[in-house]
A and B are shown apart, each in its own frame.
Chain A
Amino acid sequence: MKIIVPIKQVPETSNVSMDPETGTMIRDGVESIINPLDLYAIEESVKLKEEHGGEILVISMGPSKAEMAIREAISMGCDDGILLSNKEFAGSDTLATSYTLSQSIKKFNPYDLIICGERATDGDTGQVGPGIAAWLDIPFTTYVSKIKEVNENSMIVQRMVETGYEILEIETPCLLTVVKEINYPRLPSMRGKLLAKKKEIKTWGPDDIEAKRDYLGLEGSPTRVVKISKPKVSRGGEILMPKNESELDKAVDGLIEYLQKKEII
Protein backbone atom coordinates (compact mmCIF):
# COMPACT_ATOMS: atom_id res chain seq x y z
CA MET A 1 0.00 0.00 0.00
CA LYS A 2 1.12 3.49 -0.67
CA ILE A 3 -0.11 5.76 2.09
CA ILE A 4 0.22 9.52 2.34
CA VAL A 5 -0.09 11.24 5.71
CA PRO A 6 -0.39 15.04 5.78
CA ILE A 7 0.76 16.32 9.17
CA LYS A 8 0.79 19.78 10.68
CA GLN A 9 3.26 21.24 13.12
CA VAL A 10 1.48 23.15 15.87
CA PRO A 11 2.45 25.01 19.04
CA GLU A 12 2.21 22.94 22.23
CA THR A 13 -1.03 24.41 23.53
CA SER A 14 -2.16 22.24 26.41
CA ASN A 15 -0.84 24.88 28.77
CA VAL A 16 -0.95 27.93 26.57
CA SER A 17 -0.60 31.41 27.98
CA MET A 18 -2.16 34.39 26.32
CA ASP A 19 -1.11 38.02 26.27
CA PRO A 20 -3.97 39.72 28.10
CA GLU A 21 -3.33 42.98 26.23
CA THR A 22 -3.25 41.76 22.65
CA GLY A 23 -5.14 38.51 23.01
CA THR A 24 -2.42 36.70 21.07
CA MET A 25 -0.57 33.60 22.15
CA ILE A 26 2.71 34.05 23.93
CA ARG A 27 4.93 32.00 21.66
CA ASP A 28 8.22 32.57 23.43
CA GLY A 29 9.48 29.27 24.69
CA VAL A 30 6.47 27.46 23.26
CA GLU A 31 7.52 24.17 21.80
CA SER A 32 6.45 23.11 18.29
CA ILE A 33 5.07 19.61 18.11
CA ILE A 34 3.30 17.33 15.67
CA ASN A 35 -0.41 18.07 15.89
CA PRO A 36 -1.32 15.52 18.61
CA LEU A 37 -4.26 14.23 16.55
CA ASP A 38 -1.94 13.51 13.61
CA LEU A 39 -0.11 10.93 15.73
CA TYR A 40 -3.17 8.70 15.31
CA ALA A 41 -2.98 9.09 11.52
CA ILE A 42 0.70 8.20 11.59
CA GLU A 43 0.14 5.20 13.86
CA GLU A 44 -2.67 3.86 11.67
CA SER A 45 -0.53 4.15 8.55
CA VAL A 46 2.35 2.32 10.23
CA LYS A 47 0.00 -0.43 11.39
CA LEU A 48 -1.35 -0.82 7.84
CA LYS A 49 2.18 -0.98 6.47
CA GLU A 50 3.13 -3.64 9.02
CA GLU A 51 0.14 -5.72 8.00
CA HIS A 52 0.02 -5.16 4.25
CA GLY A 53 3.48 -3.90 3.32
CA GLY A 54 4.06 -0.73 1.37
CA GLU A 55 5.39 2.70 2.07
CA ILE A 56 4.33 5.83 3.89
CA LEU A 57 5.01 9.38 2.81
CA VAL A 58 4.44 12.30 5.17
CA ILE A 59 3.79 15.78 3.84
CA SER A 60 3.79 18.94 5.87
CA MET A 61 3.22 22.51 4.85
CA GLY A 62 4.72 25.05 7.18
CA PRO A 63 7.85 26.97 8.12
CA SER A 64 11.25 25.30 7.69
CA LYS A 65 11.22 24.04 11.27
CA ALA A 66 8.26 21.83 10.36
CA GLU A 67 10.99 19.50 9.08
CA MET A 68 11.28 18.37 12.71
CA ALA A 69 7.71 17.13 12.63
CA ILE A 70 8.47 15.13 9.48
CA ARG A 71 11.56 13.59 11.08
CA GLU A 72 9.55 12.63 14.12
CA ALA A 73 6.95 10.91 11.90
CA ILE A 74 9.76 9.00 10.20
CA SER A 75 11.09 7.93 13.58
CA MET A 76 7.67 6.42 14.26
CA GLY A 77 7.87 4.31 11.11
CA CYS A 78 7.04 6.49 8.10
CA ASP A 79 9.43 6.14 5.18
CA ASP A 80 9.81 9.49 3.57
CA GLY A 81 8.80 13.10 3.88
CA ILE A 82 8.26 16.26 1.88
CA LEU A 83 8.22 19.74 3.35
CA LEU A 84 6.13 22.35 1.56
CA SER A 85 7.70 25.57 2.62
CA ASN A 86 7.77 28.83 0.75
CA LYS A 87 6.79 32.40 1.46
CA GLU A 88 4.08 32.10 -1.19
CA PHE A 89 2.37 29.48 0.99
CA ALA A 90 2.23 31.76 4.03
CA GLY A 91 -1.15 32.87 5.33
CA SER A 92 -3.09 30.00 3.77
CA ASP A 93 -6.59 29.28 5.04
CA THR A 94 -8.11 25.85 4.64
CA LEU A 95 -8.94 26.37 0.94
CA ALA A 96 -5.35 27.31 0.08
CA THR A 97 -3.86 24.72 2.46
CA SER A 98 -5.89 21.88 1.00
CA TYR A 99 -5.13 23.05 -2.53
CA THR A 100 -1.39 23.16 -1.88
CA LEU A 101 -1.36 19.76 -0.19
CA SER A 102 -3.47 18.21 -2.95
CA GLN A 103 -1.13 19.52 -5.64
CA SER A 104 1.84 17.89 -3.91
CA ILE A 105 -0.08 14.65 -3.47
CA LYS A 106 -0.75 14.52 -7.23
CA LYS A 107 3.00 14.11 -7.66
CA PHE A 108 2.76 10.77 -5.90
CA ASN A 109 0.01 9.25 -8.00
CA PRO A 110 -0.83 6.36 -7.83
CA TYR A 111 -1.42 6.07 -4.09
CA ASP A 112 -3.95 3.98 -2.18
CA LEU A 113 -4.82 5.99 0.85
CA ILE A 114 -4.47 9.41 2.47
CA ILE A 115 -4.91 9.61 6.24
CA CYS A 116 -5.39 12.95 8.01
CA GLY A 117 -5.91 13.83 11.63
CA GLU A 118 -9.40 14.79 12.74
CA ARG A 119 -8.31 18.41 13.19
CA ALA A 120 -5.31 20.49 14.16
CA THR A 121 -5.20 21.74 17.73
CA ASP A 122 -4.46 25.35 16.69
CA GLY A 123 -6.62 26.29 13.68
CA ASP A 124 -9.05 23.63 14.83
CA THR A 125 -11.28 23.55 11.75
CA GLY A 126 -11.05 19.92 10.61
CA GLN A 127 -11.60 21.22 7.10
CA VAL A 128 -8.28 20.40 5.45
CA GLY A 129 -8.87 16.63 5.11
CA PRO A 130 -12.23 16.85 3.30
CA GLY A 131 -10.79 19.77 1.32
CA ILE A 132 -7.88 17.69 -0.01
CA ALA A 133 -10.28 14.94 -1.07
CA ALA A 134 -12.49 17.46 -2.88
CA TRP A 135 -9.54 18.90 -4.80
CA LEU A 136 -8.37 15.40 -5.76
CA ASP A 137 -11.92 14.20 -6.44
CA ILE A 138 -11.44 11.01 -4.45
CA PRO A 139 -13.97 9.46 -2.06
CA PHE A 140 -13.49 10.39 1.58
CA THR A 141 -14.96 10.02 4.99
CA THR A 142 -14.35 11.55 8.40
CA TYR A 143 -14.26 10.57 12.09
CA VAL A 144 -12.97 7.06 11.29
CA SER A 145 -12.53 5.06 14.49
CA LYS A 146 -11.56 1.72 12.96
CA ILE A 147 -10.22 0.31 9.71
CA LYS A 148 -11.87 -3.08 9.63
CA GLU A 149 -10.82 -4.52 6.29
CA VAL A 150 -8.49 -3.67 3.44
CA ASN A 151 -9.48 -5.19 0.11
CA GLU A 152 -8.13 -4.99 -3.43
CA ASN A 153 -10.11 -1.89 -4.44
CA SER A 154 -11.89 -0.84 -1.30
CA MET A 155 -11.73 -0.71 2.46
CA ILE A 156 -14.28 -1.14 5.22
CA VAL A 157 -14.15 1.43 7.96
CA GLN A 158 -16.11 2.39 11.03
CA ARG A 159 -17.12 6.04 11.34
CA MET A 160 -18.11 7.63 14.62
CA VAL A 161 -21.17 9.88 14.51
CA GLU A 162 -23.29 11.53 17.20
CA THR A 163 -25.61 8.60 17.78
CA GLY A 164 -23.43 5.60 16.97
CA TYR A 165 -21.19 4.03 14.36
CA GLU A 166 -21.53 3.72 10.61
CA ILE A 167 -19.86 0.83 8.83
CA LEU A 168 -18.82 2.07 5.40
CA GLU A 169 -17.28 0.48 2.36
CA ILE A 170 -15.18 3.03 0.54
CA GLU A 171 -13.45 2.67 -2.82
CA THR A 172 -9.70 3.26 -2.93
CA PRO A 173 -7.82 5.48 -3.48
CA CYS A 174 -9.57 7.42 -0.74
CA LEU A 175 -9.00 9.84 2.11
CA LEU A 176 -9.87 9.19 5.74
CA THR A 177 -9.68 11.49 8.73
CA VAL A 178 -9.22 9.50 11.92
CA VAL A 179 -10.21 10.11 15.55
CA LYS A 180 -8.22 9.28 18.63
CA GLU A 181 -10.32 6.23 19.42
CA ILE A 182 -8.62 4.44 16.50
CA ASN A 183 -5.34 3.40 18.16
CA TYR A 184 -2.60 4.13 20.67
CA PRO A 185 0.26 5.96 18.95
CA ARG A 186 3.66 4.38 19.54
CA LEU A 187 6.74 6.19 20.69
CA PRO A 188 9.61 6.60 18.24
CA SER A 189 12.07 3.68 18.31
CA MET A 190 15.84 4.11 18.67
CA ARG A 191 16.31 2.70 15.21
CA GLY A 192 13.62 5.00 13.86
CA LYS A 193 15.29 8.01 15.40
CA LEU A 194 18.59 7.13 13.74
CA LEU A 195 16.90 6.64 10.37
CA ALA A 196 15.04 9.91 10.75
CA LYS A 197 18.20 11.81 11.56
CA LYS A 198 19.92 10.67 8.38
CA LYS A 199 16.96 11.06 6.06
CA GLU A 200 17.14 13.78 3.47
CA ILE A 201 13.91 15.82 3.56
CA LYS A 202 13.15 17.66 0.33
CA THR A 203 11.63 21.12 0.46
CA TRP A 204 9.18 21.99 -2.31
CA GLY A 205 7.83 25.33 -3.45
CA PRO A 206 5.03 26.36 -5.83
CA ASP A 207 6.88 25.31 -9.00
CA ASP A 208 7.59 21.83 -7.72
CA ILE A 209 3.87 21.19 -7.32
CA GLU A 210 2.77 23.11 -10.45
CA ALA A 211 0.52 25.32 -8.36
CA LYS A 212 -1.70 28.04 -9.75
CA ARG A 213 -0.49 31.16 -8.00
CA ASP A 214 -4.04 32.50 -7.51
CA TYR A 215 -4.83 29.66 -5.16
CA LEU A 216 -1.83 30.04 -2.86
CA GLY A 217 -1.17 31.66 0.48
CA LEU A 218 -2.95 34.71 1.80
CA GLU A 219 -3.80 35.85 -1.72
CA GLY A 220 -5.61 32.58 -2.46
CA SER A 221 -7.41 32.50 0.88
CA PRO A 222 -11.04 33.65 0.98
CA THR A 223 -11.18 33.87 4.80
CA ARG A 224 -9.48 36.56 6.85
CA VAL A 225 -8.88 36.44 10.58
CA VAL A 226 -9.76 40.06 11.36
CA LYS A 227 -9.64 39.96 15.13
CA ILE A 228 -8.39 37.76 17.92
CA SER A 229 -9.81 38.23 21.37
CA LYS A 230 -9.50 36.42 24.61
CA PRO A 231 -12.59 34.73 25.95
CA LYS A 232 -13.07 35.65 29.56
CA VAL A 233 -11.26 32.94 31.46
CA SER A 234 -12.27 33.82 34.95
CA ARG A 235 -16.02 33.96 34.82
CA GLY A 236 -16.13 35.90 38.07
CA GLY A 237 -18.94 33.72 39.25
CA GLU A 238 -20.68 33.72 42.55
CA ILE A 239 -18.79 31.42 44.93
CA LEU A 240 -20.53 30.58 48.18
CA MET A 241 -18.85 29.25 51.31
CA PRO A 242 -21.61 27.91 53.54
CA LYS A 243 -20.55 27.67 57.20
CA ASN A 244 -23.45 25.64 58.55
CA GLU A 245 -26.38 23.52 57.55
CA SER A 246 -28.77 26.38 56.92
CA GLU A 247 -26.23 28.29 54.81
CA LEU A 248 -25.63 25.12 52.86
CA ASP A 249 -29.34 24.79 52.31
CA LYS A 250 -29.43 28.37 51.01
CA ALA A 251 -26.48 27.74 48.73
CA VAL A 252 -28.31 24.79 47.18
CA ASP A 253 -31.45 26.89 46.81
CA GLY A 254 -29.28 29.46 45.05
CA LEU A 255 -28.06 26.76 42.69
CA ILE A 256 -31.62 25.73 41.89
CA GLU A 257 -32.61 29.35 41.25
CA TYR A 258 -29.63 29.64 38.96
CA LEU A 259 -30.79 26.55 37.05
CA GLN A 260 -34.26 28.02 36.74
CA LYS A 261 -33.00 31.40 35.62
CA LYS A 262 -30.91 29.74 32.91
CA GLU A 263 -33.90 27.62 31.86
CA ILE A 264 -32.12 24.37 32.59
CA ILE A 265 -34.99 23.22 34.75
Chain B
Amino acid sequence: MSYKDVWVLSEQEDGKIKLVSYELLTRGRFLADKRNVKLVAIILGKSIDKEGLQELIYRGADKVIVIEDTSLEYFLPEPYANTVTSLIQKYNPEIIIASATTTGRTVMPAVAIKCITGLTADCTDLDIEEETGNLIQTRPAIGGNILATIMTPKYRPQMATVRPHSNKPLVPDNSRTGDIIYEKVDKSILKSRIKKLEFKINQDEDANIQDADVVISGGKGLKKEDNFQMIHDIAALLDGSVGASREAVDLKWATYPHQVGLSGKTVSPKFYMAVGISGSVQHLAGIKTAENIVAINSDPEAQIFQVADYGIVADLFEVLPVLTKKLEALKQ
Protein backbone atom coordinates (compact mmCIF):
# COMPACT_ATOMS: atom_id res chain seq x y z
CA MET B 1 0.00 0.00 0.00
CA SER B 2 1.20 3.53 -0.55
CA TYR B 3 1.00 6.01 2.28
CA LYS B 4 1.00 9.72 1.63
CA ASP B 5 0.61 13.10 3.33
CA VAL B 6 0.99 14.44 6.80
CA TRP B 7 -2.09 14.73 9.01
CA VAL B 8 -2.67 16.79 12.08
CA LEU B 9 -5.56 16.04 14.41
CA SER B 10 -7.13 19.39 15.33
CA GLU B 11 -9.26 19.98 18.40
CA GLN B 12 -12.25 22.21 19.01
CA GLU B 13 -14.33 23.29 21.96
CA ASP B 14 -17.87 24.54 21.42
CA GLY B 15 -17.12 24.63 17.70
CA LYS B 16 -14.07 26.88 18.10
CA ILE B 17 -10.67 25.57 17.00
CA LYS B 18 -8.26 25.39 19.93
CA LEU B 19 -4.96 27.23 19.95
CA VAL B 20 -3.00 23.98 20.34
CA SER B 21 -4.25 22.95 16.92
CA TYR B 22 -2.72 26.01 15.29
CA GLU B 23 0.53 25.21 17.09
CA LEU B 24 0.39 21.68 15.74
CA LEU B 25 0.07 22.97 12.17
CA THR B 26 3.53 24.53 12.49
CA ARG B 27 4.97 21.08 13.16
CA GLY B 28 2.92 19.51 10.42
CA ARG B 29 3.89 22.16 7.85
CA PHE B 30 7.58 21.57 8.57
CA LEU B 31 7.22 17.81 8.07
CA ALA B 32 5.02 18.10 4.98
CA ASP B 33 7.49 20.47 3.33
CA LYS B 34 10.37 18.12 4.07
CA ARG B 35 8.42 15.20 2.60
CA ASN B 36 7.10 17.36 -0.19
CA VAL B 37 3.52 16.26 0.48
CA LYS B 38 0.23 17.86 1.54
CA LEU B 39 -0.63 18.86 5.09
CA VAL B 40 -4.15 17.77 6.00
CA ALA B 41 -5.98 18.93 9.14
CA ILE B 42 -8.64 16.60 10.52
CA ILE B 43 -11.33 18.06 12.72
CA LEU B 44 -14.27 16.38 14.46
CA GLY B 45 -17.22 18.23 15.99
CA LYS B 46 -20.88 19.08 15.75
CA SER B 47 -20.97 22.45 14.10
CA ILE B 48 -17.55 23.94 13.65
CA ASP B 49 -16.91 27.62 13.21
CA LYS B 50 -16.30 28.29 9.48
CA GLU B 51 -13.76 31.02 10.08
CA GLY B 52 -11.76 28.68 12.27
CA LEU B 53 -11.67 26.12 9.47
CA GLN B 54 -10.43 28.74 7.06
CA GLU B 55 -7.81 29.75 9.57
CA LEU B 56 -6.46 26.19 9.58
CA ILE B 57 -5.64 26.80 5.92
CA TYR B 58 -4.20 30.27 6.59
CA ARG B 59 -1.97 28.80 9.26
CA GLY B 60 -0.50 26.00 7.22
CA ALA B 61 -2.98 23.29 6.14
CA ASP B 62 -3.41 22.43 2.43
CA LYS B 63 -6.65 20.63 3.08
CA VAL B 64 -9.13 20.30 5.92
CA ILE B 65 -11.30 17.24 6.44
CA VAL B 66 -14.31 17.98 8.64
CA ILE B 67 -16.58 15.37 10.17
CA GLU B 68 -19.67 16.80 11.79
CA ASP B 69 -22.14 14.83 13.84
CA THR B 70 -23.99 15.42 17.09
CA SER B 71 -22.14 12.48 18.62
CA LEU B 72 -18.84 14.27 17.93
CA GLU B 73 -19.82 17.52 19.66
CA TYR B 74 -17.22 16.97 22.38
CA PHE B 75 -14.52 14.39 22.95
CA LEU B 76 -15.62 10.85 23.75
CA PRO B 77 -13.03 8.11 23.24
CA GLU B 78 -15.02 5.63 21.17
CA PRO B 79 -16.65 7.76 18.44
CA TYR B 80 -13.49 9.84 18.13
CA ALA B 81 -11.10 6.88 17.89
CA ASN B 82 -13.40 5.06 15.46
CA THR B 83 -13.83 8.09 13.22
CA VAL B 84 -10.12 8.87 13.04
CA THR B 85 -9.36 5.20 12.38
CA SER B 86 -11.86 4.98 9.55
CA LEU B 87 -10.39 8.10 7.91
CA ILE B 88 -6.89 6.71 8.21
CA GLN B 89 -8.00 3.46 6.62
CA LYS B 90 -9.62 5.36 3.80
CA TYR B 91 -6.77 7.77 2.98
CA ASN B 92 -3.59 6.10 4.33
CA PRO B 93 -1.63 9.07 5.62
CA GLU B 94 2.08 8.54 6.14
CA ILE B 95 2.30 10.56 9.36
CA ILE B 96 -0.36 11.61 11.84
CA ILE B 97 0.32 13.87 14.78
CA ALA B 98 -1.93 15.13 17.57
CA SER B 99 -1.42 17.43 20.53
CA ALA B 100 -0.46 15.65 23.73
CA THR B 101 -3.53 17.04 25.49
CA THR B 102 -5.91 14.94 27.57
CA THR B 103 -7.79 14.36 24.30
CA GLY B 104 -4.78 13.54 22.13
CA ARG B 105 -3.21 11.30 24.73
CA THR B 106 -6.46 9.38 25.07
CA VAL B 107 -7.59 9.00 21.48
CA MET B 108 -4.24 8.36 19.79
CA PRO B 109 -3.25 5.22 21.74
CA ALA B 110 -6.59 3.64 20.84
CA VAL B 111 -6.21 4.62 17.17
CA ALA B 112 -2.66 3.22 17.07
CA ILE B 113 -3.92 -0.14 18.30
CA LYS B 114 -6.77 -0.20 15.78
CA CYS B 115 -4.31 0.56 12.98
CA ILE B 116 -1.62 -1.73 14.47
CA THR B 117 1.11 0.85 14.33
CA GLY B 118 3.54 2.71 16.57
CA LEU B 119 2.82 5.82 18.57
CA THR B 120 5.43 8.04 20.21
CA ALA B 121 4.26 10.01 23.21
CA ASP B 122 4.65 13.65 24.08
CA CYS B 123 7.33 14.59 21.56
CA THR B 124 9.27 17.80 21.89
CA ASP B 125 10.91 17.51 18.48
CA LEU B 126 9.93 16.00 15.14
CA ASP B 127 12.00 15.78 11.99
CA ILE B 128 12.44 13.71 8.85
CA GLU B 129 15.45 11.46 8.28
CA GLU B 130 17.02 12.49 4.97
CA GLU B 131 17.96 9.06 3.64
CA THR B 132 14.81 7.14 4.54
CA GLY B 133 12.12 9.79 4.81
CA ASN B 134 11.20 8.30 8.19
CA LEU B 135 9.87 10.40 11.02
CA ILE B 136 12.43 11.12 13.76
CA GLN B 137 10.62 11.56 17.05
CA THR B 138 12.31 12.98 20.14
CA ARG B 139 10.77 12.88 23.58
CA PRO B 140 11.80 13.27 27.20
CA ALA B 141 11.39 10.15 29.36
CA ILE B 142 12.34 8.89 32.81
CA GLY B 143 11.12 12.02 34.52
CA GLY B 144 12.90 14.29 32.07
CA ASN B 145 16.27 12.69 32.80
CA ILE B 146 16.80 11.53 29.24
CA LEU B 147 15.82 12.41 25.70
CA ALA B 148 14.85 9.40 23.62
CA THR B 149 14.88 9.40 19.83
CA ILE B 150 12.26 7.04 18.47
CA MET B 151 11.48 5.82 14.96
CA THR B 152 8.72 3.71 13.48
CA PRO B 153 10.59 2.31 10.48
CA LYS B 154 8.34 -0.51 9.32
CA TYR B 155 4.80 0.41 10.23
CA ARG B 156 2.47 3.07 8.80
CA PRO B 157 1.13 5.53 9.60
CA GLN B 158 3.83 6.88 11.89
CA MET B 159 2.01 8.43 14.82
CA ALA B 160 3.09 10.87 17.51
CA THR B 161 1.64 13.19 20.08
CA VAL B 162 3.34 16.55 20.51
CA ARG B 163 3.76 18.44 23.75
CA PRO B 164 1.41 21.44 23.79
CA HIS B 165 3.03 24.88 23.76
CA SER B 166 6.34 23.47 22.58
CA ASN B 167 6.16 25.77 19.53
CA LYS B 168 4.20 28.73 18.22
CA PRO B 169 1.44 28.92 15.60
CA LEU B 170 2.43 30.29 12.21
CA VAL B 171 1.32 33.82 11.41
CA PRO B 172 -1.88 33.50 9.35
CA ASP B 173 -1.29 33.97 5.63
CA ASN B 174 -4.59 35.01 4.07
CA SER B 175 -3.32 34.34 0.57
CA ARG B 176 -3.08 30.60 1.25
CA THR B 177 -5.79 28.48 -0.31
CA GLY B 178 -6.97 24.95 0.25
CA ASP B 179 -10.02 22.70 0.19
CA ILE B 180 -12.34 22.25 3.14
CA ILE B 181 -14.06 18.93 2.71
CA TYR B 182 -17.01 17.63 4.72
CA GLU B 183 -16.91 13.86 5.07
CA LYS B 184 -19.47 11.45 6.42
CA VAL B 185 -18.70 8.34 8.38
CA ASP B 186 -20.88 5.34 9.03
CA LYS B 187 -23.28 6.04 11.93
CA SER B 188 -22.59 2.66 13.45
CA ILE B 189 -19.06 3.67 14.45
CA LEU B 190 -20.28 6.74 16.32
CA LYS B 191 -21.83 4.80 19.19
CA SER B 192 -20.46 5.54 22.62
CA ARG B 193 -20.64 3.44 25.74
CA ILE B 194 -19.74 6.56 27.70
CA LYS B 195 -22.06 9.49 28.31
CA LYS B 196 -20.97 12.91 29.45
CA LEU B 197 -23.35 13.94 32.20
CA GLU B 198 -21.82 17.22 33.21
CA PHE B 199 -18.83 19.51 32.85
CA LYS B 200 -17.48 21.57 35.69
CA ILE B 201 -15.14 24.38 34.80
CA ASN B 202 -12.20 24.88 37.13
CA GLN B 203 -13.13 27.75 39.40
CA ASP B 204 -9.52 28.37 40.24
CA GLU B 205 -8.46 28.92 36.64
CA ASP B 206 -5.08 29.95 37.77
CA ALA B 207 -4.48 26.38 39.00
CA ASN B 208 -4.12 25.04 35.45
CA ILE B 209 -0.42 25.48 35.79
CA GLN B 210 0.46 22.49 33.63
CA ASP B 211 -0.86 24.36 30.58
CA ALA B 212 0.39 27.80 31.43
CA ASP B 213 2.93 29.57 29.23
CA VAL B 214 4.26 31.47 32.19
CA VAL B 215 4.56 30.11 35.72
CA ILE B 216 5.87 32.16 38.63
CA SER B 217 6.59 30.00 41.67
CA GLY B 218 7.35 30.89 45.25
CA GLY B 219 9.03 28.85 47.97
CA LYS B 220 9.88 28.94 51.62
CA GLY B 221 12.17 31.90 51.04
CA LEU B 222 9.07 34.13 51.00
CA LYS B 223 8.99 33.71 54.78
CA LYS B 224 5.26 34.23 55.35
CA GLU B 225 1.86 33.92 53.73
CA ASP B 226 1.31 37.65 53.19
CA ASN B 227 4.50 37.87 51.17
CA PHE B 228 3.25 35.22 48.77
CA GLN B 229 1.01 37.91 47.29
CA MET B 230 4.13 39.28 45.57
CA ILE B 231 4.24 36.10 43.50
CA HIS B 232 0.61 36.62 42.47
CA ASP B 233 1.36 40.22 41.51
CA ILE B 234 4.24 39.28 39.21
CA ALA B 235 2.26 36.41 37.73
CA ALA B 236 -0.59 38.79 36.96
CA LEU B 237 1.77 41.26 35.29
CA LEU B 238 3.11 38.50 33.03
CA ASP B 239 -0.30 36.89 32.39
CA GLY B 240 1.05 33.81 34.11
CA SER B 241 -0.05 31.28 36.69
CA VAL B 242 1.18 30.81 40.22
CA GLY B 243 3.20 27.79 41.25
CA ALA B 244 4.68 26.78 44.58
CA SER B 245 7.23 24.47 46.15
CA ARG B 246 6.00 21.76 48.44
CA GLU B 247 7.26 23.72 51.44
CA ALA B 248 5.07 26.65 50.41
CA VAL B 249 2.10 24.31 49.97
CA ASP B 250 2.73 22.59 53.30
CA LEU B 251 2.78 26.02 54.94
CA LYS B 252 -0.61 26.71 53.27
CA TRP B 253 0.65 29.73 51.32
CA ALA B 254 -0.67 28.03 48.19
CA THR B 255 -3.02 25.11 47.56
CA TYR B 256 -1.94 21.68 46.33
CA PRO B 257 -3.05 22.17 42.69
CA HIS B 258 -0.32 24.83 42.50
CA GLN B 259 2.45 22.51 43.66
CA VAL B 260 5.21 21.97 41.14
CA GLY B 261 7.41 18.91 41.32
CA LEU B 262 7.59 15.19 41.69
CA SER B 263 4.56 14.90 43.95
CA GLY B 264 2.85 17.88 42.34
CA LYS B 265 2.50 18.96 38.74
CA THR B 266 4.93 18.88 35.88
CA VAL B 267 4.95 22.17 34.06
CA SER B 268 6.43 22.97 30.68
CA PRO B 269 5.92 26.69 30.26
CA LYS B 270 7.88 28.98 28.02
CA PHE B 271 8.94 30.83 31.13
CA TYR B 272 9.37 29.56 34.68
CA MET B 273 10.51 31.75 37.53
CA ALA B 274 11.50 30.30 40.90
CA VAL B 275 11.57 32.77 43.77
CA GLY B 276 12.96 31.69 47.14
CA ILE B 277 13.06 28.07 46.02
CA SER B 278 16.20 26.04 46.69
CA GLY B 279 15.80 23.67 43.73
CA SER B 280 15.53 20.23 45.35
CA VAL B 281 15.62 17.30 42.91
CA GLN B 282 11.93 16.78 43.57
CA HIS B 283 11.15 20.35 42.60
CA LEU B 284 13.40 20.21 39.55
CA ALA B 285 11.61 17.04 38.40
CA GLY B 286 8.59 19.21 37.71
CA ILE B 287 10.33 21.88 35.64
CA LYS B 288 12.81 19.97 33.51
CA THR B 289 10.94 20.74 30.32
CA ALA B 290 10.41 24.41 31.03
CA GLU B 291 11.91 26.39 28.17
CA ASN B 292 13.39 29.32 30.08
CA ILE B 293 14.11 29.25 33.79
CA VAL B 294 14.88 32.27 35.92
CA ALA B 295 15.80 32.01 39.60
CA ILE B 296 15.91 34.54 42.37
CA ASN B 297 17.58 33.31 45.54
CA SER B 298 19.88 34.82 48.13
CA ASP B 299 22.06 31.72 48.35
CA PRO B 300 24.61 31.54 45.50
CA GLU B 301 25.00 27.80 46.16
CA ALA B 302 21.26 27.09 45.72
CA GLN B 303 20.74 24.17 43.29
CA ILE B 304 18.15 26.12 41.36
CA PHE B 305 20.91 28.18 39.76
CA GLN B 306 22.22 25.01 38.10
CA VAL B 307 19.17 24.88 35.88
CA ALA B 308 18.64 28.62 35.52
CA ASP B 309 19.11 30.44 32.24
CA TYR B 310 19.19 33.69 34.13
CA GLY B 311 19.63 34.11 37.86
CA ILE B 312 19.84 36.87 40.39
CA VAL B 313 21.60 36.11 43.66
CA ALA B 314 19.96 38.60 45.98
CA ASP B 315 17.36 39.12 48.65
CA LEU B 316 14.01 38.53 46.98
CA PHE B 317 12.48 41.26 49.11
CA GLU B 318 14.75 43.70 47.34
CA VAL B 319 14.41 42.25 43.84
CA LEU B 320 10.66 41.73 43.59
CA PRO B 321 9.56 45.31 44.31
CA VAL B 322 11.96 46.61 41.65
CA LEU B 323 10.82 43.98 39.16
CA THR B 324 7.16 44.68 39.85
CA LYS B 325 7.66 48.39 39.39
CA LYS B 326 9.50 47.97 36.09
CA LEU B 327 6.92 45.54 34.74
CA GLU B 328 4.10 47.90 35.70
CA ALA B 329 5.89 50.72 33.91
CA LEU B 330 6.20 48.58 30.80
CA LYS B 331 2.49 47.74 30.84
CA GLN B 332 1.55 51.41 30.57
Contacts and interface: CB of A to CB of B under 8 A. Distances in A.
A241 B81 CA distance: 54
A233 B306 contact: yes
A164 B149 CA distance: 33
Chain A binding surface, main DSSP class:
mixed
B74 to A, nearest CB: 9
Contacts of B282: 14
A15 B142 CA distance: 11
Size range of the chain A interface in the assembly: 35 or more
Interface in A4-30: 13-16, 18, 23-25
A130 B200 contact: no
A251 B312 CA distance: 7
B144 interface: yes
A225 B292 contact: no
Interface stretch (B21-29, B48-56, B242-250, B318-326): B318-326
Interface stretch (A45-53, A54-62, A257-265): A257-265
Interface string B199-218: 11110000010110110000
Contacts of B152: 222-224
A234 B288 CA distance: 11
Interface in B300-319: 300, 305-314, 318-319
Interface in A109-167: 121-131, 133-135, 139-143, 156, 159-167
Contact of B194 (A94, A163, A168): A168
Interface stretch (B114-122, B177-185, B225-233): B114-122
A265 B330 contact: yes
Contacts of A93: 118
B146 A23 contact: yes
A190 interface: no
A264 B196 contact: no
Contacts of A265: 238, 327, 330
B77 A140 contact: yes
B322 A248 contact: yes
Given A171-B194, A231-B140, A248 B318 contact: yes
Question: Which among B109, B118, B193, B211 has the greatest number of chain A C-beta atoms within 10 A?
Answer: B109
Interface stretch (B59-67, B87-95, B100-108): B100-108
Contacts of A123: 141
Contact of A141 (B77, B122, B213, B292): B77
Contacts of A156: 197
Nearest to A227: B149
Given A16-B145, A95-B112, A171-B194, 12 more contacts: A95-B119, A164-B201, A166-B199, A168-B195, A223-B152, A239-B308, A242-B312, A248-B312, A255-B310, A256-B326, A256-B330, A264-B213
Interface of A: 13-16, 18, 23-25, 93-95, 98-99, 121-131, 133-135, 139-143, 156, 159-171, 174, 180, 221-231, 233-235, 237-242, 248-249, 251-256, 258-259, 262, 264-265
